[in-house]
Amino acid sequence: MFTIEITLKGVPAMLAVQYKEAEAAEASFQNLSDVLRSGQPQWLDLTCEKTEKKILLASAEIAAVQLTPKAGGAQAGTRAGFLSAASQS
């Protein structure tokens, strides 16, 4: 399972969209990256493969996007990310 976490401007919680295959997650992440780099506001339609839920986002409200693989042995309550990786070294 692969998760794209999206941080919205002014919102402390993240949105998570999960994918079963790495290729689908990478394609969605690349699409989000391209839209954000273009600087043109767009509506983004994302579908979570785990819960089969959909979300429509305004690209202008996205502050950050992160793609992480979900490890089977990950500890409960820990989040993948740059800060957690830096603190482990």
pTM: 0.74
State which CATH number among 3.10.310, 2.30.30, 3.90.1200, 2.30.130 fits the domain covering 2-88.
2.30.30
Average pLDDT, the chain: 83
> Could you tell me which residue, 6 or 73, shows the higher pLDDT?
6
Buried/exposed 26-49: b ≥16 CB within 10 Å, e otherwise: eebbeebeebbeeeeeeebebebe
Please write the tens of the pLDDT for every residue from 30-47. Answer: 999 999 999 999 999 999
Does residue 18 surpass a pLDDT of 50?
A: yes
Residue carrying the six token digits 């969209």: 17
- Give the span between the Cα atoms of 38 and 62, in whole angstroms: 13
